[in-house]
Amino acid sequence: MTARRLLVATGLRDVLPDVPGLAEHWGHRVVHCPYCHGWEVRDEPIGILATSPASIHHALVFRQLTDDLIYFTRSTELDPDGRARFAARNIRIIDTPVQEVVNSEDGAIAGVRLTDGTRVARRVLAVITEMQARTEGLDGLKPPMEDLPYNMGRRFASGMAGTTDVPGVWVAGNATDLTAQVGASAAAGALAGSHINALLATADTDAALAAAEGGPATA
């Protein structure tokens, strides 16, 4: 297939922390986004599996959804100020590492088992994933990419309306804006599309003018 312009909208891949039993519950009882899943998990016993200091803020947001929140530090940093803030919000802190997710008889989450053998009951686990823009098939373009802080992920770098440093290539949605939801992703696609169309209209007119004047046509 050939095209005069390309809009990359390949989305992203969520990479979960390597905790046995976690992945099978992804999108159901293992959640990342309070604005996507918040209503469904409200008032449940929720556990935050910390992946970086960014998980501290994640916990404060999920605290809006439940009074029963436990923060599993998983060797991430939580300084005295963070601990005081959690205490003020009745967020329990567990520093013992998490060994695995424990299922209930109906296949849902019953809790987690810690490395000291303790089982901690939870119905929902919230985790910040590492978000990796999907790049399959695009290596030949060599589109510039950039890493987010705290190992949060890797995205296509883009400018106004999704432009990239590669001539003729635009990018929209999660591939470049890792935290965009459906509305923002669709809006970015529409904006990039109109930008591309506007430039094609100009290119077509330039080509028509060149043809009319007997010069070489370009697209």
Ligand X SMILES: Cc1cc2nc3c(=O)[nH]c(=O)nc-3n(C[C@H](O)[C@H](O)[C@H](O)COP(=O)(O)OP(=O)(O)OC[C@H]3O[C@@H](n4cnc5c(N)ncnc54)[C@H](O)[C@@H]3O)c2cc1C
User: Using CB under 6 A, which residues numbered 170 to 209 contact ligand X?
Assistant: 173-175, 180-183, 185
The site that binds ligand X (CB under 6 A) totals a number of residues, namely 18
- Strand-pairing partners, residue 64, are none
Radius of gyration of the chain (CA): 23
Q: Does 130 bind ligand X (CB under 6 A)?
A: no
At 191, the amino acid letter reads L
Contact in structure between 141 and 166 (CB atoms under 8 Å): yes
Give the single-character DSSP code of 117: S
Contacts (Cβ under 8 Å, ≥6 apart) of 54:
128, 150, 152
C-beta closer to ligand X: residue 61 or 93: 61
C-beta closer to ligand X: residue 36 or 208: 36
Tokens of 124: 């929902």
Pick from 4, 23, 24, 36: which binds ligand X (CB under 6 A)?
A: 36
Shortest CB 188 distance to ligand X, Å: 8
Pick from 80, 137, 140, 149: which binds ligand X (CB under 6 A)?
A: 137
Pick from 7, 14, 22, 29: which binds ligand X (CB under 6 A)?
A: 14
C-beta closer to ligand X: residue 47 or 173: 173
C-beta closer to ligand X: residue 158 or 185: 185
Query: Distance (Å, rounded) from C-alpha 171 to C-alpha 69?
Result: 38
Q: Does 73 bind ligand X (CB under 6 A)?
A: no
Length of the chain: 219
Contacts (Cβ under 8 Å, ≥6 apart) of 145:
133, 135, 154, 155, 156, 157
Pick from 99, 134, 148, 191: which binds ligand X (CB under 6 A)?
A: 134
Residue whose pair of structure tokens reads 């990359």 in the numeric block: 8
Query: Distance (Å, rounded) from C-alpha 210 to C-alpha 203?
Result: 10
Q: Which residues bind ligand X (CB under 6 A)?
A: 9-11, 14, 27, 33, 36, 134, 136-137, 173-175, 180-183, 185
